[in-house]
Structure 1
Amino acid sequence: MLISVYVPFVVTAVLTLLAPRLARRLTPRPAAWALACAALVTAVGWTGSLTLLAFTGIAQIPQVAAEGHWSASALRAEDPVYLVVAAVSALVLAASVVSVGVATFRQVRHVVRARRECAALPGDVELAVLDDDAPLAFALPGGPGRIVVSRGMLCCLGDDERAALLAHERAHLRGRHHLFLSLWRLTSALNPLLRPLAHTGAFVLERWADEEAAARVGDRAAVARAVGRAALAAAGASRPALAATGGEVPQRVRALLAPPPARRASPFLAGALLLTVCCASLANAASDSDRMVDSAIRAQCAALSATTTAPPADDHRHGPGFCCGPHHRGEFGEHRS
């Protein structure tokens, strides 16, 4: 277990270094799904490894072993985990749980607020136009979602650019991109190493919406102009999560002015292999931990059994062969008769 329990940490580090660079060069939609799967699997691996390290180390404390009825020495002999490592793992695990709890509370509050804002918007159609000179354009997820555009933003764009902007925001709602963002926020709260994946994921979602808008409008240059002009108009203003002005706008414009990205299978296969290794290592570590605990329990039972059946050292009433078993009691009874 001592080796396999650390594999999820290594896989997380490798994906954190490589995945952001690769995801920006791949087709946005499968890249977003791949990043979501990578974040979910590595977050589970991170939590599982920390739990196993904390438990295996703390279980070797004699007082804990006495409460669990296993042998601390037998557990320590099979797979020693330093108490410092176990303590650090327990602290990091506790901090991760608290962090994801706070993130979950904030996410729920954000969803409730979004639904209230959707209900408060004028009209009951998908598009809501605000009578505001500030350039705003974003998708507001809800039941159903709404597209919010201000009068100031519409005045900055031409007809084809308006169509591209609305197609971009519809792609956010149709693809349920807010669920991807929620997943990345929660997993990065649980595992801080996943924050680069969350940042890259937000950019990939904007690229996903850009590509869908280009396919709907049929003009990649018009979408590029809409993204660029909307970003310039909204410069300095706050950027909602699902907005055409989000992400690295120059990179998005360059990608739209270039041919559509080619589909590549090798990066996804490599990522799937890494995630499979992560899952297999965690399962192996959990199985080894369960086996070691069972062995330690058996060792403790054997020690207690030996202590119970052995005669006391100072009892010489019947010689060294004295036993209180029923067979010997019968022999003594026949002798007395």
Structure 2
Amino acid sequence: MRIAVYIPLLLSLIAPLGARPLSERCEPRLATWLLTATALVLGTATTISLGLLAVTGLIRIPQLATLGHWSSHAAQRDDPAELSVSLIAGLLLGGAVLMAARMAWRRARTLAAAALEAACMPTRDGLVVVEDEGPDAFALPGLPGRVVISTGMLHTLNETEHDILLAHERAHLTAHHYAFVALAQLGAAANPLLRPLATAVTYTIERWADENAATTTGDRKRVARTVGKAALAARPGARTSGAALGILGQRSPLAGAGPVPRRVAALLAPPLSRHPLLAAVTAAVLATATLSTAEAAHDLHVLLETVGAW
């Protein structure tokens, strides 16, 4: 435990450095899975590590030792962590649990509101057209979900581009992209160092949907033009439904100015490969975090047995 308990914390400092390479060089669907898994696993592992460190501090308190009938002297002698480290870990653990619980509650409310709003929307083939001159389009999660497009967006795009836009938005619903974003942000809520991973997921789901539209239509250049055209047309202040996919990651799937040039450039280039090296490195990080957390938990179990608390 002297080393293993700190490994997930160290990995959470290193892993965000790989967010950009994964999102830019790896096939979008695989990149989304890898980034989401990394954020969730490291967020969980670092929270557990903080909990283990906090427990080593608790067992050193004489009053608790008396109540639990274990030896605080043995705990102070064999405890691998300094008391100050345990206290800091306890404070960080409280913050991590609080932020993760808050994020989970907000996402649960969001998805419930989305399902209710989607159920109340009249639709034909899952498409809802709203009377609004502001160009806007988004995917609304639900059972089933809805694709919502404003009349302004329909007027902006031609018929072929309508099909591309629909293919893009339907890909969000079919692949449950809102779940990837929510899980990645849950891990980042528990460990703020992982926020670059969650941000990268909001980009890779767009790339995933772009590639799906390109596969459906068979014309990558036309999809690139449609993405750019829709993004330029969308108003900065356009209304997006409070339960739309956008609030789980970004305001609207096609309205973010930052990632759009990168998405267009990717569509104008050949499709990305799965990049086995990046996938292998990510898998190694996940395995290391999992095994080190398990090892640290086992070491704490041994420590508790030694002091008579188990």
- TM-score, with normalisation over the residues of structure 1? 0.85
Counterparts of 1:303-322 in structure 2 under 5 Å? Answer: none
1:323 corresponds to: none
One-letter amino acid matched to 1:274: V
2:273 corresponds to: 262
- The separation in 2 between residues aligned to 1:278 and 1:289, in whole angstroms, is 16
Is the radius of gyration larger for structure 1 or structure 2? 1
- The separation in 2 between residues aligned to 1:97 and 1:212, in whole angstroms, is 37
Residue 13 of structure 1 and its aligned partner are, at CA, apart by: 1.3
Contact 2:23 2:203 in 1 (8 A): no
- The separation in 1 between residues aligned to 2:116 and 2:302, in whole angstroms, is 52
1:271 corresponds to: 282
Counterparts of 1:202-217 in structure 2 under 5 Å? Answer: 202-217=202-217
SS where residue 147 of structure 1 aligns?
A: strand
1:58 corresponds to: 58
SS where residue 274 of structure 2 aligns?
A: coil
One-letter amino acid matched to 1:7: I
Identity of aligned residues (%): 43
Q: Deviations over 1:14-65 (max 9, x none)?
A: 1112233332211000000011111121011111100010000221121122
- The separation in 2 between residues aligned to 1:287 and 1:218, in whole angstroms, is 53
SS where residue 73 of structure 2 aligns?
A: helix
2:264 corresponds to: 253
Contact 2:44 2:190 in 1 (8 A): no
- The separation in 2 between residues aligned to 1:80 and 1:167, in whole angstroms, is 55
One-letter amino acid matched to 1:26: C
1:178 corresponds to: 178
2:249 corresponds to: none
1:191 corresponds to: 191
SS where residue 25 of structure 2 aligns?
A: coil
2:253 corresponds to: 243
SS where residue 262 of structure 1 aligns?
A: coil
Larger relative contact order (Cα-Cα within 8 Å, sequence gap ≥ 6): 2
One-letter amino acid matched to 1:116: L
1:24 corresponds to: 24
Contact 1:165 1:244 in 2 (8 A): no
- The separation in 1 between residues aligned to 2:49 and 2:123, in whole angstroms, is 51
- The separation in 2 between residues aligned to 1:297 and 1:117, in whole angstroms, is 55
Q: Deviations over 1:59-105 (max 9, x none)?
A: 11211222222212222222342222111111111111111121122
One-letter amino acid matched to 2:54: A
1:13 corresponds to: 13
Contact 1:169 1:244 in 2 (8 A): no
Residue 252 of structure 1 and its aligned partner are, at CA, apart by: 0.4
Contact 2:37 2:184 in 1 (8 A): no
- The separation in 2 between residues aligned to 1:174 and 1:148, in whole angstroms, is 15
Q: Deviations over 1:107-152 (max 9, x none)?
A: 1221122122212323353111112111111111100011111110
1:33 corresponds to: 33
- The separation in 1 between residues aligned to 2:167 and 2:133, in whole angstroms, is 22
Contact 1:71 1:297 in 2 (8 A): yes
Contact 2:57 2:86 in 1 (8 A): yes
- The separation in 2 between residues aligned to 1:90 and 1:83, in whole angstroms, is 11
2:112 corresponds to: 112
1:67 corresponds to: 67
- TM-score, with normalisation over the residues of structure 2? 0.92
- The separation in 2 between residues aligned to 1:125 and 1:168, in whole angstroms, is 15
SS where residue 148 of structure 2 aligns?
A: strand
Unmatched runs of 5 consecutive residues or more in structure 2:
247-251
1:321 corresponds to: none
- Paired residues, number: 299
Contact 1:58 1:83 in 2 (8 A): no
Q: Deviations over 1:166-221 (max 9, x none)?
A: 10001101101011111012111111111111100000000000001000010001
Counterparts of 1:84-123 in structure 2 under 5 Å? Answer: 84-123=84-123
- The separation in 1 between residues aligned to 2:67 and 2:293, in whole angstroms, is 26
- The separation in 2 between residues aligned to 1:237 and 1:120, in whole angstroms, is 25
- The separation in 1 between residues aligned to 2:81 and 2:12, in whole angstroms, is 22
Q: Does the alignment pair 1:137 with 2:137?
A: yes
